[in-house]
């Protein structure tokens, strides 16, 4: 699976795999990524992504490749140094990683 860096915004470097870019394009070209606070196991914060925004959350667009539009929470206080976006085959889905981790560190 080939990954290539996308244009960076001033605050976060975005890296997307070709399979992720293809899947995002099939679903309308937009990807919304937000944080989800767990309720157990030390309340781990993980990343959630979807092609439509959840109700009640505000997002801002982050500079990315011409193939996709990337949106992060408008009130996100701290951005990762790098946001990785991967496409998975079974089941077909997008997974996002905060500085290489599936949870926010």
**Separation of alpha carbons 92 and 8, rounded Å:** 26
SS3 letters across 76-98: CCCCCCEEEEEEECCCCEEEEEE
Closest CA to 96 of 10, 3, 28: 3
pLDDT tens for 90-100 read 899 999 999 88
Domain ranges of the chain: 3-98
| pLDDT tens for each residue of 20-51 | 999 999 999 999 999 988 777 667 888 999 99
Locate the DSSP E strands across 1-105: 3-5, 13-17, 30-37, 45-50, 59-62, 69-73, 82-88, 93-98
pLDDT at 4: 47
Pairing of β 30-37 and β 59-62: unpaired
> Smallest Cα–Cα separation from 13: which of 74, 70, 75?
70
CATH 1.10.357 is the classification of domain 3-98 = no
């Amino acid at each position: 699976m080939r990954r290539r860096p996308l244009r960076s915004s001033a605050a976060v470097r975005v890296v997307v795999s070709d399979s992720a870019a293809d899947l995002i394009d099939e679903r309308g070209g937009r990807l919304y990524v937000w944080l989800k606070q767990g309720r157990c196991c030390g309340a781990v914060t993980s990343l959630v992504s979807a092609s439509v925004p959840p109700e009640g959350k505000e997002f801002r667009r982050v500079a990315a490749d011409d193939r996709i539009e990337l949106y992060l929470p408008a009130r996100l206080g701290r951005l990762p140094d790098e946001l990785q976006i991967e496409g998975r085959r079974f089941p077909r889905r997008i997974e996002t990683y905060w500085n290489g981790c599936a949870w926010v560190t």
